Structure 1
């Protein structure tokens, strides 16, 4: 049986799966690696003065992990620079925040070549290689240059940008050309795949062709593409929801609500998540519905991320000010309309929080999928479920049409959706939840993982 080699910027294989804090993706990939006797390769998170092309090996709960240290310049240019200041904002349609600096691109190319240099000697001829996300787009090209002929798949966890935006990236053609060294490229949604295909077919410098069954041809090569919507580990999440700690968190939140309706948002601090727009929409709701003031509150859980990047420092300051303004304007002696928290909670705690919330607000401005939407649905009480308000610009909206779909740029639309969610009859809430829960089960992360691996295995490679 072939080994599965998972490659990502950071290795998420949990040291102790029983701890309950590992994400569903990490758990699913770890299970696959144990099944296929595989290897998880990536950056260690550590820096060294001089790069050495050697991997450090660990065993994490039965998963073999291979880690490589990077130089500080690599981290600054490849990770903080090109990945998070160039590709991330561009792929989320924020050209105004995109930094086009030559040194970032050079560091990105250099670091991916270093990853390839360390990974190539670890490979066996029949290994399946699965590379994840925008940090490592050129890695297949660099592996091919070192003589690697294995099947290599790539999955993008973010949106793919519209062609008119992608062409603002210097050397955009070179980036896309490197993707044609993969055998399979996967996207969350049909929309992201179609945007990729549009670039290949419409960009004059590429002059590619669209082939049957979602194959594309350009640069003298053909690559298979496909839609693979990711999901959550449903059974594990339900177990977390029903655990002692999950139940205790639910009881705590229900008591804290004090007979008020809780609205919840859980998002990493990022401009793509629409957090400012969400608070403005909630403020509009309070303005529009004076009779509901004191009857509801918004719990916004926002762990800090990438705080070494100026843009993230700026948004944190703006959110602090906005939450304070809403509370200053509307709070009473026994009621605070916004509870804004910058900390991380375990999966079982989040399950309890979601279950206690009458409304789940998932309103990113642009998102590859957004698994909070699926976690919120899975956490609900089937006999008295809450209502999901979901941005139409999240990848999850393509599957979860029974949610209340909103334009997060419109504060009036957000306000109206919050009111509708809070006043929705039980029969309608139950009908919507049943439909959405079926979607959650049908897109379980294990199904996503197995579908991608099966599709990569089935790719017919051209004769050498």
Structure 2
């Protein structure tokens, strides 16, 4: 039985040595399963993108869905990222309800349906990914008789928020074309079930009735490649880099933040909370340093450029108010790092400060907990990972005073408590191992 994975992005990337699997996320989770079974990965052929094909030794066939510039901008830049992304993260003031963007989204989902239908053979299983393709399961249900799974990787909002969309019922009907719908947490499952009920679909337990069919809705939390991060934690080169970062910090304690520079990640609020720490707990001046990694993201979008401007201003103000000849309180790294480089930051940090304003899961929190030696994880209670990482110190990312107080507690935490919490977190991360996620979901779909 072959597998067809459908996602917006292809699972391969170009490197100086040639093609290689993309790092992290879906590629790490699904490529090994797809290689073992054999099958097809269907992805958008982004306008202007250089075509790529899988490595010759791969058992995976890559099928691209060609899109025009107009289609790409409307489907991806428009409906996916200016409607669904802000809505699902509760940034309602950023939602742009433009009907032409929904029409592009519908058109591209239909193009995906045609491509998948053409590639499908009797007995194949179809696994659709994420908010870019909400309509696709329903469109496939009209065309093929196959087990269809759908996984939503960002938060599904409350039904009261989702019903803001003029196309809400059509999107829910699209998702319910699947046999199994997956989310990271029970909260998102409950939100989806309530949304389906609002649009008139009968709900019994974790099942939604659609005509004669019954659609199951389940929580399947996605984790990380634990084997890979165990290797990185033990790598002598990573250890040497971590020691160099400690020397660069020049302080007793090092706090680390790692994010894309996206308005959902709470980077600005985190800098303000660190500023509040230095103001309210002056005994840490000269004794703590904060490294914030902010990976550039969607730099052509005005809202993201404005966010960068405000983050730059906050970083400049912190340095202007607290910098001393013998102490640099903040280093702000606006660049992209490899997994190996990030692992060195994880090993160096005493505290990871991961405080998104809303997040589907947040794999950085898992990576830090699994890679750190003696660190403390301070984690937003509004990240999906908070459902599973109970030994982290959970914070409200909108509460600057509360975050500053929790940072103070984390920095003062005794070694024994740090080790005990971190050991428990590592066990929880083991249970969420990324390839197990794909196997568990597919076993439920096929069973």
TM-score, with structure 2 as normaliser: 0.95
Do 2:11 and 2:22's aligned partners in 1 also have CA atoms closer than 8 Å? no
Q: Distance in 1 between matches of 2:280 and 2:56?
A: 52
Give the match for residue 387 of structure 2.
398
User: 1:113 matched to which residue of 2?
Assistant: 110
| Per-residue CA distance 1:139-166 (angstroms, 9 max, x = gap) | 1222233x21111101010000111111
Aligned to 1:77: 74
Tell me by how many angstroms 1:120 deviates. 1.4
Map 1:231-380 → 2, pairs under 5 A: 231-380=223-372
2:19 and 2:422 map into 1 onto residues whose CA distance is 29
1:216 to 180, 184, 208: 208
Post-superposition CA distance 1:184-206 (Å, at most 9, x none)? 100000000001111122x1xx2
Give me the whole-angstrom Cα distance separating, in 2, the residues matched to 1:392 and 1:166.
Answer: 21
1:158 has 2:154 as partner: yes
1:14-29 matches, cutoff 5 A: 14=13, 22-29=23-30
Q: Select 2:129's aligned residue among 127, 132, 139.
A: 132
RMSD of aligned alpha carbons: 1.9
Contact 1:14 1:27 survives alignment (8 Å): no
Equivalent-residue separation in structure 1 for 2:311 and 2:424 (angstroms): 34
Paired residue total: 443
Deviation at 1:118, TM superposition (A): 2.1
Deviations 1:85-142 (A, max 9, x none): 0000000011111110111111100111111222211111111111110001111222
- Segment of structure 1 superposing worse, 214-223 or 225-234: 214-223
| Contact 2:266–2:357 under 8 Å retained in 1 | yes
Contact 2:141–2:178, Cα closer than 8 Å, also in 1: no
Q: Secondary structure at the match of 1:367?
A: coil
2:7 is aligned to: 8
Whether 2:408 is the aligned partner of 1:419: answer: yes
| Deviation of 1:247 (Å) | 2.4
Q: Is residue 406–residue 414 contact of structure 1 (8 Å, CA) maintained in 2?
A: yes
The answer as to whether partners of 2:239 and 2:347 remain within 8 angstroms in 1 is: no
Q: Map Cα deviations across residues 9-35 of structure 1 (whole Å, 9 max, x no partner).
A: 011235679979711531231111111
- Residue 432 (structure 2) aligns with: 443
Q: CA 1:395/1:66 → structure 2, altered by over 3 Å: closer, same or farther?
A: same
Partner of 1:34: 35
Displacement after TM superposition at 1:249 (Å): 2.1
CA, structure 1 residues 61+10, in 2 after alignment: closer, same or farther (shift >3 Å)?
A: farther
Q: Is residue 22–residue 28 contact of structure 2 (8 Å, CA) maintained in 1?
A: no
CA contact (8 A) 1:56 1:66 kept: no
Using the TM superposition, give the Cα deviation of residue 454 of structure 1 relative to its aligned residue in structure 2, in angstroms. 0.4
Question: Secondary structure of 1:59's partner?
Answer: coil
Distance (whole Å) between structure 1 residues aligned to residue 123 and residue 53 of structure 2:
21
Secondary structure, counterpart of 2:200 in structure 1:
coil
For residue 327 of structure 2, give the secondary structure of its aligned residue in structure 1: coil
1:200 corresponding residue in structure 2: 196
Distance 1:357 1:443 in 2: 23
Other structure's SS at 2:394 match: strand
Shift of 1:333: 1.9
Q: CA deviation at 1:366?
A: 0.6
Change (3 A) 1:245 1:113: farther
Distance 1:37 1:14 in 2: 20
Runs of 4+ in 1 over 3 A off after TM superposition: 13-21, 55-61, 218-221
CA distance in 2, matches of 1:398, 1:187: 13
Q: Return 110-119 or 217-226, whichever deviates more.
A: 217-226
CA contact (8 A) 1:180 1:221 kept: no
Gaps of 5+ in 2: none
Describe the SS at the equivalent of 2:47: strand
